[in-house]
Chain A
Amino acid sequence: QKEVEQNSGPLSVPEGAIASLNCTYSDRGSQSFFWYRQYSGKSPELIMSIYSNGDKEDGRFTAQLNKASQYVSLLIRDSQPSDSATYLCAVNGPAAGNKLTFGGGTRVLVKP
C-alpha cells in the first residue's frame, strides 16, 4: 500500500462546477496535511494546509480532513480553466520520520 494515494485522473470538470479531489494516507499518526498545485513545467505551489479534523476554506478552495478515516480532500468551487493543473497531496507523519510524503497527484482539466 502506498503511503499517500491519489487518483491520477484526469478529472474533467466543466467551467463553473465543483472539482472534488481525494487523498488517502496510511500513517495514522500523521498530523500535517497539504495541497499543492503544479502547472505543467512549473514547481509545486502550496495552496492549502490543514492540521485538524473538519473543513478549512480559503477563497474557492476548501480542504477537508478526517483523521479517523485517514483521508483528506480538496474542493475547488466555481472551477476555472486556470485551475487546470496537477494537484498534489502531501502528508507529514512520524512513520516517515516527519518528512513530507507526496501522493502521485491528480490531474484536473477544467473545460470552458
Chain B
Amino acid sequence: KAGVTQTPRYLIKTRGQQVTLSCSPISGHRSVSWYQQTPGQGLQFLFEYFSETQRNKGNFPGRFSGRQFSNSRSEMNVSTLELGDSALYLCASTVGSGGNEQFFGPGTRLTVL
C-alpha cells in the first residue's frame, strides 16, 4: 500500500508570494491533517480535513488555508509569505477523524527568502 505523498518536496519562495502544497493520503484514508514544524516551535497543528470538511483548526493566521477534494487529496495554501513561514510542512492521513493513528508524508520544505 502506497504511503502518504506530498508535492513538491522542496520550495523556495520570496516574501509576499503565495504557495500551494499538495498531499495525497493513503488509499482509503479520509482524514488529512497538516502540521508546521520549525526548530523553535516544534510540530504545530494547522488544520484537519475529513470528507471535504474542515474539522479542526490550529492557531494560525488566515493566510494559511486548506481544502480537501472528493478523492481525499488535500491542498494547503499560504498567501503573502513571510520569512517566518520557512518550515517543514507535513501532512498526515488517518482512516477516520480523531483518535486514530496518523501516518505522515515526507513533508515539503519551504524556504522563504
**A interface residues, Cβ below 8 angstroms from B:** 31-32, 34, 36, 42-46, 49, 88, 90, 92, 97-105
Contacts and interface: CB of A to CB of B under 8 A. Distances in A.
User: Which 5 pairs, one residue from A and one from B, show the smallest C-beta to C-beta distance?
Assistant: A98-B98, A102-B43, A43-B104, A99-B56, A32-B99
A94 to B, nearest CB: 9
Contacts of B48: 99
Contacts, number: 48
B86 to A, nearest CB: 15
Contacts of B100: 32
Contacts of B99: 31-32, 92, 98
Contacts of A102: 35, 42-43
A108 B95 CA distance: 30
User: What is the interface residue range for chain B against chain A?
Assistant: 20 to 34
A92 B99 CA distance: 6
A58 to B, nearest CB: 13
Given A46-B101, A104-B42, 11 more contacts: A36-B104, A43-B88, A43-B106, A44-B43, A44-B90, A46-B104, A90-B102, A97-B56, A98-B97, A99-B33, A99-B48
Nearest to B88: A43
A42 B37 CA distance: 11
A40 B97 CA distance: 29
